[in-house]
Amino acid sequence: MFENLGNYGTFIYLGVLVAVFYFFLIRPQQKQQKARVEMLSKLNKGDKIINHGGIIGTITEIKEDSLTVRIADKTEVSMLREGVARVLSK
């Protein structure tokens, strides 16, 4: 296919390969990272969350890098913001 292009064919092939990797691997990962950072920055007191360990709770206090989460009556735990897997409801 690229035989007539000589050495330029190899560079074109590598360029296409890099573009494919960018659009199918790197770009979607960047979008997911951006969405996660946005989700973590929008956490509010009263949001119901699930952490990476599967524990469901309600945010009772927010500090700069940590949260206090009520997981049962009279039971609160502190956790890092990065430990939040997703927000279940507001």
In a shared domain, residues 30 and 51: no
Task: Determine the structural domain holding residue 88 and report its residue range.
Answer: 45-90
CATH of the domain at 73: 2.30.30
- The answer to which of 16-20, 47-51, 53-57, 79-83 has the lowest mean pLDDT is 16-20
Q: What mean pLDDT comes out for the span 26-39?
A: 93
Which pLDDT band holds residue 90 (cuts at 50, 70, 90)?
low
* Number of domains present in the structure of the chain: 2
- 53 and 72 both lie in a single domain: yes
Residues 51 and 68 in one domain: yes
Q: What is the DSSP letter of 12?
A: H
DSSP code per residue over 45-89: TT-EEEETTS-EEEEEEE-SSEEEEEEETTEEEEEEGGGEEEEEE
> Which residues is 72 bridged to in the sheet?
75
Q: Are residues 76 and 64 in the same domain?
A: yes
**52 and 37 both lie in a single domain:** no
Instruction: Check whether residue 74 and residue 86 sit in a common domain.
Output: yes
Question: Domain check: are 37 and 51 in the same one?
Answer: no
